[in-house]
Structure 1
Amino acid sequence: MPPQLIVAGIGTEIGKTVASAVLVEALKADYWKPVQSGELANSDTNVVRSLISNSTSYFHPEAYRLTQPLSPHAAAELDGVTIDLAKINLPQTDQPLIVELAGGLMVPLNNHELNVDLVKKLGLPVVLVSRNYLGSINHTLLSVEACRNRNIPLLGILFNGPTVDATESFILSYTGLPCLGRIGQEEVVTKEIVRKYAVTLLPGLHQIVKSL
């Protein structure tokens, strides 16, 4: 079966969408974001589509498209809907699939379920995107713990943005997770930039794909 992965971040504005684009390009995978909150005209699906060079990736429609750029549970309430995890099912595809979450793992989808509950339901392994900032060690370790407490497999960590060696080495040593690669701080992200990182990430991706 082609590899299917969930891209989760340690928080909001971590770089999940750029990381997802790189993974989509590297694996020539389909892309799916189950929940989109706000920015419907410039959704993450549209952003990833605009950054992909290959012609085989398919972009599956979101299960929920919410009008306000808020936490999904709050955006859904304003739109008069309730996010029902039973209605969020993996799209059927013979291609590799990259699934991008809306926000961090502990973001609420409704009044009693979180993103991490959706991850558990979908049953796919996680690539965790981390970004270096004051507090990112804490947020990364908590994200890893949230997955491990629920027996959610973690494939490794993808670092996005400026490199801080002391932070990254501690995270990798403490968690025992592999570093899947690094995406540097780019002023503008283009198709060429995404394609460049897709090539550099391929060796590590081949290793994790073999483990699935």
Structure 2
Amino acid sequence: MQGFFVTGTDTDVGKTIVSAWLLTHLDADYWKPVQAGTEPETDSVTVRKLAEISADRILPEAYVLPLAMAPHEAARRAGVTIDMAKLEPPATNRLIVVEGAGGMLVPLTDSDYVIDLAAQLELPVLLVARSTLGTINHTLLSIEALRRRGLPLAGVVMNGPETPHNRAAIERYGAVSVIAEIPWLPELTRASLLEIEPELDLEKLARAMP
């Protein structure tokens, strides 16, 4: 299995937008293993709309939980027990873009976190970060957590207004490449996402990393 595991420094940093952006630039499938919250729509529906991809490129979620909260609590309230063994995507011949839930240390079960799922799937991680105040601390902490686990970090994608000094600090102190910056877009569409060119060859990056 080759592709990317998309995670974030926090919730609502733009993981779903980055996932859709990846799918406009790659011949890849999308998979959201654990969906917590179904209103106004699931992330799978959002990604399919934004990237304008066919239904067969959206792999079915392993768990769909009604409430928008940390998966372990959403599962508890739904009377569901998340089984990590079931968090394996259906077979595909394409690259795969897997979107996590919240940040990396968000619990999935009583003993497992999103970062454990990333390790289980053995995909290079793309870390999504805000571009605004506070991002340096959140991003460096996330990078440190990934490296302590020995997980491969493909790069950082920054969301929000251009903030060169924050980008420079993340690249310098995190010893990582920012592979794209996604600005505030007046209209969020496939066309507007396609206009944002990655700074590295995404397919080569996905296939080259361990």
Tell me the TM-score normalised to structure 1 length: 0.92
Per the alignment, residue 172 of structure 2 pairs with: 173
Given the alignment, which residue of 194, 201, 206 partners 1:209?
A: 206
How do 1:114-153 and structure 2 match up within 5 A? 114-153=113-152
Q: Within 1, Cα distance between the matches of 2:133 and 2:20?
A: 26
Letter in 2 for 1:211: A
Q: Which runs of 5+ in 1 are unaligned?
A: none
Contact (CA 8 Å) 1:36, 1:102: kept in 2 or not? yes
SS of 2:85's partner is helix
What SS does structure 1 have at the residue aligned with 2:201? helix
SS across alignment from 1:30 = strand
Deviations 1:63-97 (A, max 9, x none): 01000011101100000011111111132100111
Give the distance between the partners of 1:163 and 1:155, measured in 2 at CA. Answer: 21
Deviation at 1:134, TM superposition (A): 2.5
* TM-superposition CA deviations, 1:94-145 (whole Å, max 9, x none): 0111000011001011122110011111111101111123321111011111
Q: Is the 8 A contact 1:63 1:88 kept in 2?
A: yes
Q: Which residue does the alignment assign to 2:162?
A: 163
Cα displacement (A) at 1:164: 1.2
Alpha-carbon offset, residue 57 of structure 1:
6.2
Aligned length: 209
What is the CA deviation profile of residues 160-210 of structure 1, one whole-angstrom value per residue up to 9, with x for unaligned ones? 11121111101101111111111111133112112222xx12743245235
Moved beyond 6 Å, runs of 4+: none
- Per the alignment, residue 91 of structure 2 pairs with 92
* TM-score calculated relative to the size of structure 2: 0.93
C-alpha distance in 2 between matches for 1:99 and 1:178? 20
Q: Match of 2:178, as an amino acid?
A: C
Query: RMSD over aligned Cα, in angstroms?
Result: 1.7
